[in-house]
Amino acid sequence: MSPEEQRLSRADLLAALEKGWRHYLPKLRELSEEEQARYAREQGFARIEDVIAHIFGWWELSMQRTLQILSGHEVPMVNDMDEINAEIVERFKHWTRADIEERFTAALAAFEQFLIDLPEKALENNHIHLWLSIDAIDHYEAHRLPNGPQLPGA
């Protein structure tokens, strides 16, 4: 169900992180190197590290944009997602797999804590709700591993 169809609570978003993203790296490690390479190509990336960086890069961007909105700043629309994706991949292209996975784990913990600390009223803002719902649920389903759990209701 898309974020436009259902108003999600903080508990819904946190449950999605727990049921989906928390299992991402362990499930990824279950795949062979060949399966990981195929998955990365199918996702439109050259390397699995690029996929992982893309995921946490969007979490970090969403948290940043949410804080800007909450502090009363205008947040421009994202017009070129491909450009942002390319910037994220470029920024992390020289990182090792271990460093990328460590950043993913840290970003996931930060995203979870961000949701815990977020005032419930913030989710009433349509932009904030949309961004966080996309990152917690829709983005997971878009990048779900072949052996990864499906989120309930997705």
The pLDDT tens digits for 49-60 are: 999 999 999 999
Average pLDDT over every residue of 94-117: 98
What is the reported pLDDT for 73? 85
Q: Which runs of consecutive H residues, i.e. helices, occur in 8-150?
A: 10-19, 24-30, 33-42, 48-70, 81-92, 97-117, 126-133, 139-142
What pLDDT score does 58 carry? 95
How many percent of the chain have pLDDT more than 70? 95
Q: Which two tokens stand for residue 87?
A: 């910037």
For 34, the token pair is 């060949």
Closest CA to 103 of 55, 147, 141: 55
Task: Give the confidence band of 154 by pLDDT, cuts at 50, 70, 90.
Answer: low
Query: The pTM is what?
Result: 0.91
Burial state string for 70-102 with b = 16 or more CB within 10 A and e = fewer than 16: eeeeeeeeeeeeeeebeebbeebeeeeeeebbe
Q: How confident is the model at residue 3 (pLDDT cuts 50, 70, 90)?
A: very low
Determine contact, residues 40/51, Cβ cutoff 8 Å.
Answer: yes
Cβ neighbours around 28 below 10 Å, total: 19
- Give yes or no for residue 4 having a pLDDT over 60: no
Residue located via tokens 């996929």: 51
Give the mean model confidence (pLDDT) for residues 3-30: 89
- Note whether 84 and 59 are within 8 A (CB): no
Q: Minimal CA–CA distance to 54: which of 13, 95, 7, 15?
A: 95
